[in-house]
Each structure stands twice: as structure tokens, then as C-alpha cells.
């Protein structure tokens, strides 16, 4: 899976959108990115499974909570978890997603939206 975050600083690859990309992200890479999100160093984290085209993304801050969304890879529609999430909830969801554990799908109530 690829891990994307804002900006192109550092030694990692930068994609056409200007996002820093970590290919074949490990759990440590993910935990570091989510910690940066919680500190307010970055605005969002995206984890995408290139094989299935499914991706999960989170944005927000520790004080007001995080929004969590995913795209099922089939079309442009998105699914959003109802309510604001804590840092621990975001970490649990992203870790499950990274490890191909489908438990993330039942951790929250998801609602479909298009933008």
C-alpha cells in the first residue's frame, strides 16, 4: 500500500499532486504519519491499496476530532464514518486497513456521499 501525506519535503517521492508518497508502507510509516497528523504537522493522511483501488483518508485535528473516509475503488463515490473520530480510532482503522483486516468496515457507521 502507498501512504500519502501533504507536501514534498524530505527524501521521499512526490507525486503529481505534490503529495509525499511512501510506497509499500509499513506499520511504522503509518504510525509516524498519524502521529504527525495528531501533532498538527500535516493536514491529512491517505492510505491506498493500489491493487484494489480502495483508499482511506483522514483529516482533522486532535482537539476537534478527525473525519474518516474511504473510496471503494469502483467509482467516485465516497463513504464517510459518522461523527468525529479520536486519534485512537483513526489509528485502529488505518492499521486494520493496512493489514488487510476487514474489521475497519464494521468499526463505524458509514454513509455514502459524492462530491
pLDDT tens digit sequence for 22-47: 999 999 999 999 999 999 999 999 99
Residue 7 pLDDT > 90: no
What is the rounded distance in angstroms from the CA atom of residue 43 to the CA atom of residue 52? Answer: 25
Query: What residues have CB less than 8 Å from 78, skipping those under 6 apart?
Result: 69, 70, 71, 112, 113, 114, 115
Cα 19 to Cα 110: distance, rounded to the nearest angstrom: 26
- Phi then psi for 100, rounded to 5 degrees? 60, 30
pLDDT digits (tens, 9 = 90+) for 78-108: 999 999 999 999 999 999 999 999 999 999 9
pLDDT higher than 60, residue 11: no
DSSP, collapsed to helix, strand or coil, labels residue 68 as: strand
CB atoms within 10 A of CB 69: 17
Q: Report CA-CA distances (Å) from 103 to 45, 66, 71.
A: 19, 19, 16
pLDDT above 70 (res 8): no
Q: What's the predicted TM-score (pTM) here?
A: 0.89
Amino acid at each position: 500500500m502507498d501512504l500519502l501525506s501533504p507536501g514534498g519535503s524530505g527524501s521521499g517521492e512526490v507525486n503529481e499532486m505534490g503529495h509525499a508518497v511512501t510506497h509499500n508502507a509499513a506499520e511504522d510509516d503509518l504510525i509516524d504519519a498519524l502521529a504527525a497528523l495528531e501533532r498538527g504537522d500535516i493536514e491529512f493522511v491517505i492510505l491506498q491499496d493500489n491493487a484494489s483501488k480502495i483508499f482511506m483518508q483522514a483529516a482533522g485535528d486532535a482537539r476537534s476530532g478527525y473525519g474518516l473516509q474511504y473510496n471503494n475503488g469502483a467509482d467516485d463515490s465516497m463513504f464517510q464514518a459518522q461523527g468525529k473520530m479520536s486519534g485512537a480510532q483513526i489509528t485502529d482503522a488505518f492499521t486494520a486497513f493496512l493489514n488487510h483486516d476487514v474489521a475497519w468496515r464494521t468499526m463505524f457507521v458509514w454513509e455514502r456521499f459524492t462530491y
